[in-house]
Amino acid sequence: MHHIFVECPSFDGLRQSALQDLIRDTSEQLAAAETTPPLTDVVLRITSALFSDSIDVWPQYTSRYYFGTMPPLRSTTGSHTPAIRRLLARVVHGWHTASIRLAGRIWGVYKRRISPRPSAVSPAEVLSLPPHLQYLLH
């Protein structure tokens, strides 16, 4: 399972696209809140490693975003005012939402690739309706 969501080269494009969008959104949130450069750097460094295994970001060095879990943010950014804590909660919420969406997209593509497609229905298999119900199809 881990390979599909984190390592599989078939899904690099999806991961990179989601990561670019997430970094942009997180940067906008931090800029709007006028956070300090050190805090911005720490949060963006964690954001950039969200969809990959990272010794510096993930406990046990393994990304688990596809389970909906996020790396710890509070311990790496220190103590802050209530406004900064609310901002960080919004950032983590954005990470969580992006992670679940990405996992859903990857899983959907994966399942479509491994599942056989139903064959097209032949005209002989199409059921016809009695004349008094034909209006339902138009």
Q: Which residue has the higher pLDDT, 129 or 18?
A: 18
Task: Please state the pTM of the whole predicted model.
Answer: 0.76
8 Å CB contact between 39 and 77:
yes
The pLDDT assigned to 24 comes to: 95
Q: Residue 68 has what DSSP assignment?
A: T
The pLDDT assigned to 75 comes to: 59
Give residue for tokens 């950032």.
91
Give residue for tokens 């950039």.
48
Distance, in Å, from the CA atom of 55 to the CA atom of 58, rounded to the nearest integer, reads 6
CA 42 to each of CA 27, 35, 45, 77, 86: distance values in angstroms, whole numbers, following the listed order: 11, 11, 5, 7, 16
What is the tens place of the pLDDT at every residue in 29-70? 999 988 888 889 999 999 999 999 988 888 888 899 999 889
The pLDDT assigned to 72 comes to: 81
What is the tens place of the pLDDT at every residue in 76-98? 566 678 888 889 999 999 999 99
Q: Which residue has the higher pLDDT, 119 or 111?
A: 111
The pLDDT assigned to 60 comes to: 86
What is the tens place of the pLDDT at every residue in 97-116? 999 999 999 999 999 888 87
Percent of residues in the chain assigned helix, strand, coil, to nearest 5: 70, 0, 30
Q: Mean pLDDT check: name the lowest of 9-13, 18-22, 67-71, 134-138.
A: 134-138
The pLDDT assigned to 125 comes to: 61
Q: Quickly state the pLDDT bin for 124 (edges 50, 70, 90).
A: low
100: nearest Cα among 44, 54, 51, 48: 51
Distance, in Å, from the CA atom of 114 to the CA atom of 130, rounded to the nearest integer, reads 39
8 Å CB contact between 78 and 42:
no
